């Protein structure tokens, strides 16, 4: 009996993406991406579920509700990534990244997210590289960011980009919830 030939599944071709600055008509897509990105780390009944829901509600009511006011002033920006959906042929928002000025030398990265089904195509790396290039052009010397300590894939992603863990901090005691803080020198 002859051995059957091994089968392999080819990964679909990388989607054609565009990285650009946020426009007001992007708001609903960005809010949905932020919501979906945050809620993927919890489900009803999980010990951190209420914490994530409260954090999401605050986020949607503050900086995500007013992206121009929080991210499009001097020294700040908000980038989105769009790709053509294979199912609809329409351009969809698949990634976000906000830059906020902390000081004349430090920028903070916020709302870094790539839609689940568009991960593993290098979109996050391209988005981070694009933002870093913009940040350098603004004269910043360092970037910082933080992530929930339970977001293990994000933590490994940031480390792979040269970010260093500088500390952890407790955001909540009950339930216990910790943040991992990163920085990267740009000089």
Question: Residue with structure tokens 């054609």?
Answer: 16
Q: Kindly report the CATH number that applies to the domain delimited by 17-185.
A: 3.40.630.30
Contact (CB, 8 A) for 60 and 54? no
What does pTM read for this prediction? 0.86
What gap in Å lies between CA 133 and CA 128, rounded to an integer?
9
List the chain domain ranges: 17-185
Q: 3-state SS of the chain?
A: CCCCCCCCCCCCCCCCEEEEECCHHHHHHHHHHHHHHHHCCCCCCCCCHHHHHHHHHHHHHCCCCCHHHHHCCCCCEEEEEEEECCCCCCEEEEEEEEEEECCCCEEEEEEEEECHHHCCCCHHHHHHHHHHHHHHHCCCCEEEEEEECCCHHHHHHHHHCCCEEEEEEEEEECCEEEEEEEEEECC
Average pLDDT over residues 102-130: 95
d(C-alpha 125, C-alpha 95), whole Å? 11
- Is residue 144 within 8 A of residue 132, CB to CB? The reply is no
| pLDDT tens per residue, range 134-143 | 999 999 999 9
Q: Summarize the confidence of residues 19-32 as an average pLDDT.
A: 96
For the record, the structure tokens of 176 come out as: 């216990």
Q: How confident is the model at residue 12 (pLDDT cuts 50, 70, 90)?
A: low
53-78 pLDDT tens trace: 777 788 778 888 999 999 999 999 99
- Widest CA span in the chain: 72
């Amino acid at each position: 009996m002859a051995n059957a030939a091994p089968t392999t599944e080819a990964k679909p071709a990388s989607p054609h993406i565009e990285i650009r600055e946020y426009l007001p008509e992007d708001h609903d897509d960005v809010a949905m991406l932020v919501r979906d990105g945050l809620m993927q780390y919890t489900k009803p009944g999980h010990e951190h579920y209420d914490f994530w829901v409260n954090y999401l509600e605050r986020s949607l009511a503050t900086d995500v509700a007013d992206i121009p006011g929080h991210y499009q002033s001097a020294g700040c920006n908000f980038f989105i990534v769009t790709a053509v959906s294979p199912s609809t042929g329409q351009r969809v928002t698949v990634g976000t990244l906000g830059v906020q000025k902390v000081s004349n030398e430090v920028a903070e990265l916020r709302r870094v997210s790539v839609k689940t089904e568009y991960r593993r195509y290098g979109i996050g790396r391209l988005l981070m590289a694009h933002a870093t290039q913009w940040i350098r052009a603004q004269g910043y010397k360092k970037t910082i960011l933080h992530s929930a300590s339970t977001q293990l894939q994000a933590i490994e992603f940031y480390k792979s980009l040269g970010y260093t863990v500088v500390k952890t901090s407790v955001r909540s005691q009950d339930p216990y919830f910790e943040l991992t803080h990163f920085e990267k020198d740009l000089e």
